[in-house]
Amino acid sequence: MEGKYTIYKRKMNYYETDQMGIIHHSNYIRLFEEARLDIMDKSGINYADIEEMGIIIPVMSVDCKYLIPLYYNDNIEIHSCVTKFDGIKMELSYEIYKEGSKEACTKGHTGHCFLNKDMKPFRMKKLYPGLYSKLKEMAV
């Protein structure tokens, strides 16, 4: 992954495995969410504060390519970056690696939009210029 990215590290848990002993496919979407919240935190954006402002960030799309299985007790690194932000929509890219490996186990993307509590889009740049600037700085 090129450009500005953040690394989020964690260990895979036993409860995340399936009957075959590998990490269940549904957990990768959760890993993307953890990495998204981590990249926001590291950029000085607290998700709870965003919700208190009356802003919600629903997921509009998810794409996940499973390349190499992950297992219980694997230490992983998720490299994530914001690939698009225009004040209305945001896209992120993710690559998951076993710690110490240069070969990606998983690659994916998520797409999000910003809505108010009435589920309507709004002009973030005008209403929340500080938040807009921080999110814009995160984008590649």
SS3 content of the chain, % helix, strand, coil (to 5): 30, 40, 35
Q: Is 38 a catalytic residue?
A: no
Here the tokens at position 87 are 């004040």
Distance CA(32)–CA(26), nearest Å, equals 11
Distance CA(7)–CA(126), nearest Å, equals 31
* Cα distances (Å, whole numbers) of residue 18 to 13, 68, 77, 78: 11, 15, 21, 21
| Residues with a known catalytic role | 18
